[in-house]
Homo-oligomer: A and B are copies of this chain.
Amino acid sequence: MRERDVIDLISSIVGISQHDDCVLFDNGEEYITVCCDMLTERTDFPRGMTPYQIGWMSIAVGLSDIAAMGAKPMGVLWALHLPKGTSQSFISELARGAGECASYAGTRVLGGDVGVQDELTVCTVSIGMVKKEYCAKRGGAKVGDLVGITGELGVAPCGLRIFLTGASEMCERYANEMVSKALMPIPRVFEGMEIAKHCSSMMDISDGLAVSLYEIGRRSGVGFEIDRDKLPVPEGVWVCMGEDTLDTVLYGAGDFELLFTASEDEMSEISSLLDITVIGRTIEGEGVVFDTGEKIEDKGWEAVI
């Protein structure tokens, strides 16, 4: 079964109706946002990652979901299952990476759970708070909105490929930076809080850009037209990925950037405050196409169970 089908099945049985990056709890004028992300060695931490990077990554993934709602992080819980015999120095480095990522985003690891398991497994619980009027959801995009993205695209999937298979000679000089960005993603917490005041919808693109556009489109009842030449793809990705560049940018996973929609006026406001790129607009109907007319497919990272 595909991950999405499993989620639909469970949702229908236990009665889950909300599908955003976090679960929302009503708290007067605010929402408390809670999300959990479970990562495992074989799927999420490629061999060769340092324990510091694993710790950092495990927290970044959770805080990115908080960022996608526009919430201010209040703290993180960190459940950790370690293989028997894990060394003290490995655990220390894991904790140092986790603590420093939380600290980078202005928050802290406050508690968690510890156990033993053959495969290193980490579950991060992120708790945030956001004013109801600013809370960003996936289902709010309107026809005529512009589409924005933070940061650059394709960097993490490109960095991960270099990490796993090595860099070509031409790519060599970009390799270190790409790999580092792939293994230690920056959760866009501060950007998220600012964008949420202006946007009509938002989510992170950790599963890929295309699949995230389709998700916002489905939840909002709109389609997207993306300007092919506006995608903020850095030189390093072009050089290292060559003819695979566009596929990497659209369908590769691991970029923890924020994808959002906003009216023209609100988008100008966001542009004046943050370094973002407008990459297209919402359109009537459904589906995602380039301005050149080519169809973008509804695919990205998805677990298959």
Contacts and interface: CB of A to CB of B under 8 A. Distances in A.
Q: How large, as a class, is the contact surface on chain A?
A: 35 or more
Contacts of A117: 40, 42-43, 119, 121
A14 B95 contact: yes
Which 10 A-B pairs give the minimum distances between C-beta atoms? A14-B99, A123-B123, A13-B95, A23-B111, A14-B109, A38-B79, A10-B95, A116-B303, A23-B110, A36-B79
Nearest to A121: B121
Given A16-B111, A80-B10, A95-B14, A32 B35 contact: no
Contacts of A37: 79, 113
A1 interface: yes
A6 B112 contact: no
A127 B125 CA distance: 11
A171 interface: no
Contacts of A77: 23, 34-36, 125
B38 A115 contact: yes
Contact of A108 (B14, B34, B303): B14
A6 B127 contact: no
Contact of A18 (B7, B110, B115, B119): B110
A34 B34 contact: yes
Contacts of A99: 13-15
B34 A125 contact: yes
